[in-house]
Amino acid sequence: MLNLSGNKFTLGARNRRGAKGSPSLRLTSMIDMFTILLVFLLKNFSADQIMTVREDLVLPNSTAQKQPAQTPVIVVTEKFIVLEDQTVARTAQVANSNSNEIPNLKAGLMKKKEIAEALGRQNAAFGFKGQVTIQGDKEIPFRILKKIMVTCGVVGYSDILLAVYKVE
């Protein structure tokens, strides 16, 4: 009830306490709904975005259905071989080398293996699994890829995954 006596506007006693039938906003169920939506979207995003591909690479196409795992990543470009964002060798030097092993790559993988084994002693879920992913341009010569794979095998990374674009 509004009282219009004089210049003062006052609410009657009934409206101050809340009239029967007036709607009130309940946020609990909305917050629950948004929390579930947020968790769902985060799970879907993290499952699809395991690996980022460098701009200067064109990965080969594949019809493989298996999702990539969280592993150390070796990137092979026209100029460099990179392990986890650290350049370990020049591609031209590896191509011209007579050795089947790449010393700096081997050292970097040994460090990764030691870290994984140390984590495995703390928690078996994080132990060394021997998996490594290679991202290579589809024009990289096989002799370079072979030397990388031999180096990985020598260190103990015998489960080698190749990153490809999924073709529907």
Q: For residue range 107-164, what is the model confidence (pLDDT) as tens digits?
A: 999 998 998 888 888 877 777 888 888 888 778 888 999 999 999 999 999 888 887 7
Question: What b/e readout covers 104-139, taking b as 16+ CB neighbours within 10 angstroms?
Answer: ebeebbeebbeebeeeeeeeeeeebebbbbbbbbee
pLDDT, tens digit, 9 for 90 and up, residues 15-26: 555 556 666 667
pLDDT, tens digit, 9 for 90 and up, residues 27-69: 777 788 888 888 887 776 654 445 566 666 666 665 656 655 6
pLDDT, averaged across the chain = 77
pTM of the predicted protein model? 0.60
Instruction: Identify the pLDDT of residue 104.
Output: 92
Max intra-chain CA distance, the chain: 102
Which residue has tokens 């009282």?
3
Instruction: Identify the pLDDT of residue 39.
Output: 84
DSSP conformation class of 68 = P
What is the Cα Rg of the chain in Å? 30
Q: From residue 43, how far is each of 31, 48, 90 by CA, in Å?
A: 18, 9, 37
Structure confidence at residue 106 as a pLDDT band (50, 70, 90): very high
Q: Quick count: other Cβ atoms within 10 Å of Cβ 94?
A: 23
Instruction: Identify the pLDDT of residue 49.
Output: 46
Q: Write phi, then psi, for 62 (nearest 5 degrees).
A: -155, 160
Instruction: Identify the pLDDT of residue 151.
Output: 93
